[in-house]
Amino acid sequence: MTHPAPSRRHTIADDLRSQISTGRLKAGERLPSEAQLSARYKVSTPTLRNALALLQGEGLVEKIHGSGNFVRHPLRRITYADGGWMLEAQSPTEEALRVTVRTANLQAHGHLTVLLKVSPRSPLTEFLCLSHEGRSPHSLARIYVPRDLTPADIPERLLAARLAVLSPPLAEVQERVSARLPTPDEATALRISSTLAVLSITRVATDPTGRVVEAALLVLPADRADAVFTTRYTTGAMGAER
Protein backbone atom coordinates (compact mmCIF):
# COMPACT_ATOMS: atom_id res chain seq x y z
CA MET A 1 0.00 0.00 0.00
CA THR A 2 1.56 3.25 -1.03
CA HIS A 3 -0.77 5.57 0.75
CA PRO A 4 1.19 8.70 0.01
CA ALA A 5 0.07 10.50 3.14
CA PRO A 6 -3.36 11.28 4.45
CA SER A 7 -2.55 14.94 4.00
CA ARG A 8 -4.65 17.41 5.87
CA ARG A 9 -6.52 18.54 2.84
CA HIS A 10 -7.65 14.99 2.19
CA THR A 11 -8.75 14.53 5.76
CA ILE A 12 -10.80 17.69 5.55
CA ALA A 13 -12.18 16.79 2.15
CA ASP A 14 -13.14 13.36 3.44
CA ASP A 15 -14.93 14.90 6.38
CA LEU A 16 -16.88 17.37 4.27
CA ARG A 17 -17.62 14.71 1.71
CA SER A 18 -19.17 12.48 4.29
CA GLN A 19 -21.17 15.37 5.69
CA ILE A 20 -22.54 15.89 2.23
CA SER A 21 -23.29 12.27 1.51
CA THR A 22 -25.00 11.75 4.84
CA GLY A 23 -27.13 14.80 4.30
CA ARG A 24 -25.75 16.84 7.18
CA LEU A 25 -25.00 19.33 4.45
CA LYS A 26 -27.87 19.50 2.02
CA ALA A 27 -27.88 20.24 -1.66
CA GLY A 28 -27.90 23.91 -2.42
CA GLU A 29 -26.80 24.77 1.08
CA ARG A 30 -23.96 27.18 1.65
CA LEU A 31 -20.92 25.96 3.50
CA PRO A 32 -19.47 28.06 6.28
CA SER A 33 -17.06 30.63 4.96
CA GLU A 34 -13.54 29.57 4.24
CA ALA A 35 -12.36 31.59 7.20
CA GLN A 36 -14.73 29.77 9.52
CA LEU A 37 -13.83 26.39 8.10
CA SER A 38 -10.12 26.99 8.34
CA ALA A 39 -10.65 27.98 11.96
CA ARG A 40 -12.74 24.92 12.67
CA TYR A 41 -10.24 22.55 11.13
CA LYS A 42 -7.30 24.53 12.45
CA VAL A 43 -5.59 24.85 9.08
CA SER A 44 -4.45 27.81 7.05
CA THR A 45 -6.55 29.27 4.29
CA PRO A 46 -4.65 27.75 1.37
CA THR A 47 -4.92 24.30 2.89
CA LEU A 48 -8.61 24.64 3.36
CA ARG A 49 -8.98 25.91 -0.15
CA ASN A 50 -7.07 22.91 -1.44
CA ALA A 51 -9.51 20.67 0.36
CA LEU A 52 -12.41 22.46 -1.28
CA ALA A 53 -10.65 22.17 -4.62
CA LEU A 54 -10.76 18.41 -4.30
CA LEU A 55 -14.49 18.51 -3.73
CA GLN A 56 -14.94 20.84 -6.67
CA GLY A 57 -13.08 18.37 -8.83
CA GLU A 58 -15.55 15.74 -7.76
CA GLY A 59 -18.42 18.02 -8.60
CA LEU A 60 -19.69 18.06 -5.03
CA VAL A 61 -19.11 21.70 -4.33
CA GLU A 62 -19.52 24.82 -6.40
CA LYS A 63 -17.64 27.97 -5.51
CA ILE A 64 -19.25 31.27 -6.28
CA HIS A 65 -16.89 34.14 -5.94
CA GLY A 66 -18.05 36.71 -3.47
CA SER A 67 -20.83 34.64 -2.08
CA GLY A 68 -19.57 31.29 -0.90
CA ASN A 69 -19.15 27.57 -1.40
CA PHE A 70 -22.30 25.63 -2.09
CA VAL A 71 -23.22 21.98 -2.06
CA ARG A 72 -24.13 21.14 -5.60
CA HIS A 73 -27.45 19.60 -6.39
CA PRO A 74 -27.08 15.90 -6.96
CA LEU A 75 -25.88 15.87 -10.48
CA ARG A 76 -28.15 14.33 -12.97
CA ARG A 77 -25.71 12.66 -15.25
CA ILE A 78 -25.81 13.57 -18.87
CA THR A 79 -25.38 10.75 -21.28
CA TYR A 80 -24.39 11.43 -24.81
CA ALA A 81 -25.42 8.39 -26.80
CA ASP A 82 -25.47 7.81 -30.48
CA GLY A 83 -25.61 11.44 -31.38
CA GLY A 84 -28.14 12.63 -28.88
CA TRP A 85 -28.59 13.46 -25.24
CA MET A 86 -30.21 11.39 -22.61
CA LEU A 87 -30.84 12.46 -19.09
CA GLU A 88 -30.38 9.71 -16.62
CA ALA A 89 -33.30 8.51 -14.57
CA GLN A 90 -35.58 11.30 -15.52
CA SER A 91 -37.27 12.52 -12.42
CA PRO A 92 -41.03 13.05 -12.48
CA THR A 93 -40.41 16.77 -12.34
CA GLU A 94 -38.55 16.52 -15.55
CA GLU A 95 -36.90 19.80 -16.34
CA ALA A 96 -36.80 20.59 -20.00
CA LEU A 97 -33.56 21.30 -21.72
CA ARG A 98 -33.62 24.89 -22.80
CA VAL A 99 -31.37 25.45 -25.75
CA THR A 100 -30.06 28.78 -26.84
CA VAL A 101 -28.87 28.85 -30.41
CA ARG A 102 -26.90 31.62 -31.98
CA THR A 103 -26.34 31.44 -35.70
CA ALA A 104 -23.45 33.04 -37.49
CA ASN A 105 -21.89 32.97 -40.89
CA LEU A 106 -18.17 32.67 -41.21
CA GLN A 107 -15.44 31.40 -43.43
CA ALA A 108 -13.56 28.20 -42.93
CA HIS A 109 -10.14 28.54 -41.38
CA GLY A 110 -7.59 26.52 -39.54
CA HIS A 111 -8.91 23.44 -37.89
CA LEU A 112 -12.30 23.70 -39.53
CA THR A 113 -10.95 23.31 -43.03
CA VAL A 114 -9.43 20.01 -41.99
CA LEU A 115 -12.49 18.72 -40.20
CA LEU A 116 -14.90 19.66 -42.93
CA LYS A 117 -12.49 18.95 -45.74
CA VAL A 118 -13.18 22.27 -47.37
CA SER A 119 -10.83 24.91 -48.65
CA PRO A 120 -9.95 27.91 -46.54
CA ARG A 121 -12.40 30.80 -46.64
CA SER A 122 -15.22 28.64 -47.93
CA PRO A 123 -18.50 29.77 -46.42
CA LEU A 124 -19.87 28.02 -43.38
CA THR A 125 -22.75 28.44 -41.01
CA GLU A 126 -22.02 28.17 -37.33
CA PHE A 127 -24.60 27.21 -34.75
CA LEU A 128 -23.49 28.03 -31.27
CA CYS A 129 -25.70 26.12 -28.89
CA LEU A 130 -25.78 26.44 -25.14
CA SER A 131 -28.23 24.19 -23.38
CA HIS A 132 -29.49 24.62 -19.87
CA GLU A 133 -31.20 22.19 -17.62
CA GLY A 134 -33.21 24.32 -15.30
CA ARG A 135 -30.89 27.05 -14.14
CA SER A 136 -27.60 25.31 -14.64
CA PRO A 137 -25.69 25.21 -17.88
CA HIS A 138 -25.46 21.76 -19.28
CA SER A 139 -23.51 21.59 -22.47
CA LEU A 140 -22.00 23.62 -25.20
CA ALA A 141 -21.96 22.84 -28.88
CA ARG A 142 -20.46 24.50 -31.88
CA ILE A 143 -21.83 23.05 -35.06
CA TYR A 144 -20.44 23.90 -38.46
CA VAL A 145 -22.24 23.19 -41.70
CA PRO A 146 -21.23 24.17 -45.23
CA ARG A 147 -23.32 27.18 -46.14
CA ASP A 148 -25.03 25.56 -49.12
CA LEU A 149 -26.24 22.70 -46.95
CA THR A 150 -27.65 24.94 -44.29
CA PRO A 151 -31.40 24.58 -43.99
CA ALA A 152 -33.28 27.83 -43.80
CA ASP A 153 -34.34 27.17 -40.25
CA ILE A 154 -33.59 24.24 -38.07
CA PRO A 155 -32.54 25.80 -34.85
CA GLU A 156 -34.36 25.37 -31.54
CA ARG A 157 -34.53 21.66 -30.97
CA LEU A 158 -31.16 21.00 -32.56
CA LEU A 159 -29.91 19.48 -29.37
CA ALA A 160 -33.20 18.81 -27.74
CA ALA A 161 -33.66 15.33 -29.08
CA ARG A 162 -30.82 14.49 -31.35
CA LEU A 163 -28.14 16.52 -32.93
CA ALA A 164 -28.69 18.04 -36.30
CA VAL A 165 -30.19 15.29 -38.32
CA LEU A 166 -29.63 16.76 -41.68
CA SER A 167 -31.23 16.22 -44.99
CA PRO A 168 -28.90 13.96 -46.95
CA PRO A 169 -28.65 10.41 -45.72
CA LEU A 170 -25.50 9.93 -43.76
CA ALA A 171 -22.90 7.38 -44.65
CA GLU A 172 -20.64 7.66 -41.68
CA VAL A 173 -20.40 9.43 -38.39
CA GLN A 174 -17.14 9.62 -36.55
CA GLU A 175 -16.93 10.75 -32.99
CA ARG A 176 -13.65 11.58 -31.34
CA VAL A 177 -13.73 11.84 -27.57
CA SER A 178 -11.08 13.39 -25.45
CA ALA A 179 -10.76 15.10 -22.11
CA ARG A 180 -9.07 18.40 -21.46
CA LEU A 181 -9.35 21.49 -19.36
CA PRO A 182 -11.90 23.98 -20.54
CA THR A 183 -10.88 27.20 -22.17
CA PRO A 184 -11.71 30.22 -20.04
CA ASP A 185 -14.68 30.94 -22.30
CA GLU A 186 -16.00 27.43 -21.92
CA ALA A 187 -15.51 27.49 -18.19
CA THR A 188 -17.57 30.62 -17.78
CA ALA A 189 -20.23 29.51 -20.25
CA LEU A 190 -20.69 26.21 -18.42
CA ARG A 191 -20.16 27.81 -15.02
CA ILE A 192 -17.53 25.32 -14.02
CA SER A 193 -14.15 25.85 -12.51
CA SER A 194 -11.40 26.04 -15.05
CA THR A 195 -9.67 23.20 -13.22
CA LEU A 196 -12.50 20.76 -13.87
CA ALA A 197 -11.99 18.73 -17.01
CA VAL A 198 -14.46 18.63 -19.84
CA LEU A 199 -15.34 15.86 -22.20
CA SER A 200 -14.79 17.12 -25.68
CA ILE A 201 -16.53 15.31 -28.50
CA THR A 202 -15.80 16.09 -32.11
CA ARG A 203 -18.44 14.66 -34.34
CA VAL A 204 -18.00 14.55 -38.10
CA ALA A 205 -20.80 13.37 -40.35
CA THR A 206 -20.17 12.31 -43.90
CA ASP A 207 -22.68 11.70 -46.66
CA PRO A 208 -22.51 8.79 -49.15
CA THR A 209 -20.43 10.83 -51.58
CA GLY A 210 -17.76 11.32 -48.95
CA ARG A 211 -18.61 14.93 -48.37
CA VAL A 212 -18.54 16.19 -44.83
CA VAL A 213 -21.93 17.62 -44.09
CA GLU A 214 -21.44 18.61 -40.50
CA ALA A 215 -18.78 19.02 -37.89
CA ALA A 216 -19.84 19.43 -34.30
CA LEU A 217 -17.62 20.38 -31.40
CA LEU A 218 -19.34 19.42 -28.19
CA VAL A 219 -18.17 20.26 -24.72
CA LEU A 220 -19.58 18.65 -21.60
CA PRO A 221 -18.56 19.06 -17.98
CA ALA A 222 -16.68 15.93 -17.03
CA ASP A 223 -18.32 15.61 -13.66
CA ARG A 224 -21.76 15.29 -15.18
CA ALA A 225 -21.18 13.66 -18.53
CA ASP A 226 -20.76 10.24 -20.03
CA ALA A 227 -20.65 9.24 -23.63
CA VAL A 228 -21.90 5.85 -24.65
CA PHE A 229 -21.24 4.05 -27.89
CA THR A 230 -22.81 0.77 -28.80
CA THR A 231 -21.69 -1.51 -31.58
CA ARG A 232 -23.88 -4.34 -32.72
CA TYR A 233 -22.42 -7.20 -34.64
CA THR A 234 -25.14 -8.34 -36.99
CA THR A 235 -23.54 -10.90 -39.27
CA GLY A 236 -21.55 -13.98 -38.43
CA ALA A 237 -18.42 -14.29 -36.40
CA MET A 238 -16.63 -11.00 -35.82
CA GLY A 239 -18.28 -9.14 -38.67
CA ALA A 240 -18.13 -5.72 -37.19
CA GLU A 241 -20.41 -3.06 -38.43
CA ARG A 242 -18.01 -0.32 -37.56
By CB under 8 A, name the binding residues for its own copies.
2-4, 46, 57-58, 82, 165, 169-181, 184-185, 188, 195, 197-199, 222-223, 225-234, 236-238, 240-242
Under the criterion CB under 7 A, does residue 68 sit at the interface with DNA?
Answer: yes
45 binds, among its own copies, DNA, none (CB under 5 to 8 A by kind): DNA
231 binds, among DNA, its own copies, none (CB under 5 to 8 A by kind): its own copies
Measure CA of the first residue to CA of the last residue in the chain; give whole Å. Answer: 42
Under the criterion CB under 7 A, does residue 63 sit at the interface with DNA?
Answer: yes
Task: Output the smallest distance, CB 238 to its own copies, in A.
Answer: 6
Here's the x/- map for DNA, 28-47, by CB under 7 A: it reads as: ---x-xxxx-----xxxxxx
3-class DSSP state of 95? coil
Under the criterion CB under 7 A, does residue 67 sit at the interface with DNA?
Answer: yes
81 in Cβ contact with 87 (< 8 Å): no
For residue 17, give the H/E element and its range. Answer: helix 8-21
Alpha helices in 117-218 (DSSP H): 184-190
Q: How far apart are CA 122 and CA 57, in angstroms?
A: 40
Nearer to DNA, 33 or 107 (CB): 33
Q: Is the dihedral of CA 41, 47, 50, 54 positive or negative?
A: negative
Give the number of other CB atoms < 10 A from CB of residue 129.
23
CA 32, 34, 38 angle in degrees (round to 5)?
100
57 binds, among its own copies, DNA, none (CB under 5 to 8 A by kind): its own copies
Give the number of other CB atoms < 10 A from CB of residue 62.
18
Site residue total, DNA (CB under 7 A):
25
89 binds, among its own copies, DNA, none (CB under 5 to 8 A by kind): none
- Residues near DNA (CB under 7 A) are 4-5, 7-9, 31, 33-36, 42-47, 49-50, 63-69
